[in-house]
Amino acid sequence: MLDVLLQQINKLVYQTSEGMVHPGLTAEWVLAVLSIMMLLTIWMMRKTTATSQLNYSVVTSISNLPFVGKNIQQLITHPTVITGLRIFTAVVFLMVIAAGLFGTQVTERNLATTLTWTIWWSGVVISVFFVGSAWCAICPWDAIATWLVRRRLWKRGSELSSLNIKVPKVIRNIWPALMMFVVLTWLELGYGITTSPYATALLALLIVVLATVSLAIYERKAFCRYFCAVGRTLGAYGGIAPVALRPIDNAVCASCKTLECYNGTADIEPCPTHLVMGRIKQNTYCTSCGSCTQSCPYQNISWQLRNIGDEITFSSRPHWDEAWFILGLLSLTIFHGFTMMPYWEGWMSQLAYTIGDSGQLLVSFSIGMLVAMLVPILFYSAMVSVMHRLINKQEEWKRVFSAMALSILPLAFAYHIAHNLTHLVRESQGFLSVVMNPFGTNTLPLSMQEIHMRHMNPVINDNIVFALQATLILFGFWLALKILRRRVLQYTGFTINQGRIIFIPMLVFILSISILNLWLLMQPMIMRM
């Protein structure tokens, strides 16, 4: 019986005749994940007790950790530590630009492509799981832009440095960040910027220019808040992270009249994204810059440890644009998976043949991307519409759409990490040799033997990677169900028995996407470099 099941699951895997691909999840893992998913679904539908928790609970402040807490708190709030890290990332970033412009154009031998796309782009999403949006605090785009415009290493800049114009209302949302994410994905997967050190360096320079222009014209850090696709991605995922900057004692913030976290002080910058720490409910816009920890006269802001996923389960309130950003994240992460399957090229080739596309097949790719993005969006909208009818209240469809978006965020996050894990583990061999020779001087492209060696010797054993990927998919599914259950009850005010049928449309969506993600992870993935 088990053998038959495993055989049937194996039939879902694309069999490549030749070519260099990373192996996908084995049938045993898939069967185990599917079984647990079914059990979780039954549990979710049968469980009769609802949580009465209204807000997520902070487990502890880092400053309260025994023995080392105070020291860690002092260390991470000291401006020289963050400034030192910013200087380090900026130097590495400038090195990446130099390597891209001056170094070899062989993808796997140049620091620009290997560090940017294999290590950083894959690793930065994984980092959210451990340190939330901490990357934003040491982001070199913002660091260089700040030093150029403010002309200070860390202290508050002069009034002359920026025009401080308010961002026009029409773009005071994260639609620009979503657009930028779509463009970055198109450049990455369609244009193939990941394989060109020169183009990678140009993109890095372009983003520095955009960040600097934004900082010089608009008030505070409009680029970070509204335009940066990476920052908003980390911000959205940051709601799941087990750490975040939060008040140690909410009562202190409630009685605060001066709001140094929001306004800054003579020496310290105000919150770059207009947040008041006493009122912060979600991590979406926190760049973890630490200005609030330095400016708070009561030293009431600290890194807090909390339960994974509690923020998006209990306290986040996504707006219309944020909900679309989450949906965009989900569809684009799935799209990433599709483009790295051996099927994809055949589909693009067929489409190009049909429409008469040639060259780099960018028209075909763009059509494919549009369709791949539209399918999950339309499916989600349809399920929200069904749910909206079932609720049968005078509620706006848009509100249901926004509220339910949080339940799909863990699916995007889990698949994003599981997918990136393959890149990081299987494509980062040889990175040390690139660090030793960042410009790839006098190097040759990888020989077939080297490619095979890399392919056969991943950094981490395959079974460990499979176990992590399976766990991640299960984690995403479990958290999605937990949020769905909580949100539906909170939103409708129904009891569990009344609300059970309302779960079903979104449950169908969550199950379908989880199974699709699992199927994508089963497929062999084309080696990028």
Partner 1 sequence: MNIKKLLIVFGLFVVTSNSFAHHVLGRPSYSLGEDSNTPPSMQIETQIGAYYLTYMAFPAFPKPGESGRVNLYASRIDNGAPFNGEVVFKVRDDSWFSSKEEVLGTRKIDDGVYRQGFVFKEAGDYIITAEFESDGEPYTIDFPLRIGEPAPVGPIGLTILVLAVLLVVVNITQRKRLGRLKATQHHSEKTTG
Interface with partner 1 (CB under 8 A): 16, 18-21, 97, 101-102, 105-107, 148-149, 159-163, 192, 195-196, 198, 201-202, 205, 208-209, 212-213, 216-217, 342, 345-346, 348-349, 352-353, 356, 358-362, 444-449, 451, 526-527, 529
For residue 287, the minimal CB distance to partner 1 (Å) is: 22
Q: How far is the C-alpha of 513 from the C-alpha of 516, rounded, in Å?
A: 5
> Among residues 335 and 413, whose Cβ is nearest to partner 1?
335
- The Cβ-side half-sphere exposure at 116, using a 13 Å CA radius, reads 32
SS3 218: strand
> Among residues 358 and 392, whose Cβ is nearest to partner 1?
358
> Among residues 284 and 422, whose Cβ is nearest to partner 1?
422
Structure tokens at 251: 């009562």
For residue 422, the minimal CB distance to partner 1 (Å) is: 14
Q: Give the residue ranges of DSSP H helices in 392-440.
A: 397-405, 409-427, 431-436
| Residue 180 and residue 126 in contact, taking contact as beta carbons nearer than 8 Å | no
Q: How far is the C-alpha of 437 from the C-alpha of 510, rounded, in Å?
A: 46
> Among residues 7 and 158, whose Cβ is nearest to partner 1?
158
> Among residues 196 and 316, whose Cβ is nearest to partner 1?
196
**Dihedral, 490, 493, 495, 498 alpha carbons, nearest 10:** -110
For residue 24, the minimal CB distance to partner 1 (Å) is: 14
What is the phi-psi region of residue 302: left when phi exceeds 0, alpha when psi lies from -120 to 50, beta otherwise?
A: beta
For residue 445, the minimal CB distance to partner 1 (Å) is: 4
For residue 241, the minimal CB distance to partner 1 (Å) is: 34
> Among residues 108 and 321, whose Cβ is nearest to partner 1?
108
Structure tokens at 323: 């909900």
What is the arrangement of strands in the sheet containing 58-61, beginning at the earlier edge strand? 58-61, 301-306, 243-247
Structure tokens at 153: 């290493």
Extended beta strands in 296-341, E state: 301-306
For residue 319, the minimal CB distance to partner 1 (Å) is: 31
> Among residues 54 and 448, whose Cβ is nearest to partner 1?
448
Q: Which among 145, 40, 171 is positioned nearest to 482, based on CA atoms? A: 40
| Residue 102 and residue 439 in contact, taking contact as beta carbons nearer than 8 Å | yes
Q: Per-residue b/e over 181-190, b at no fewer than 16 CB within 10 Å? A: bbebbbbbbb
> Among residues 140 and 235, whose Cβ is nearest to partner 1?
140
For residue 20, the minimal CB distance to partner 1 (Å) is: 3
Could you report how far apart the first and last alpha carbons of the chain are, in Å?
A: 40
SS3 65: coil
> Among residues 163 and 370, whose Cβ is nearest to partner 1?
163
Question: Could you tell me the CA-to-CA distances from 167 to 141, 173, 262 in Å, in that order?
Answer: 19, 10, 17
CB within 8 A of 386, min separation 6: which ones? Answer: 505
Question: Could you tell me the CA-to-CA distances from 343 to 13, 16, 339, 361, 525 in Å, in that order?
Answer: 11, 9, 8, 16, 10
> Among residues 147 and 494, whose Cβ is nearest to partner 1?
147
For residue 100, the minimal CB distance to partner 1 (Å) is: 9
Can you count the helices (H) and strands (E) in the chain?
25, 5
> Among residues 290 and 524, whose Cβ is nearest to partner 1?
524
The residue whose two tokens read 């049928």 is 501
Cα Rg, the chain, nearest whole Å:
24
> Among residues 115 and 301, whose Cβ is nearest to partner 1?
115
The residue whose two tokens read 């339910």 is 404
For residue 416, the minimal CB distance to partner 1 (Å) is: 22
> Among residues 40 and 115, whose Cβ is nearest to partner 1?
115
Q: How far is the C-alpha of 171 from the C-alpha of 120, rounded, in Å?
A: 28
For residue 262, the minimal CB distance to partner 1 (Å) is: 23
For residue 451, the minimal CB distance to partner 1 (Å) is: 6
For residue 411, the minimal CB distance to partner 1 (Å) is: 27
For residue 205, the minimal CB distance to partner 1 (Å) is: 5
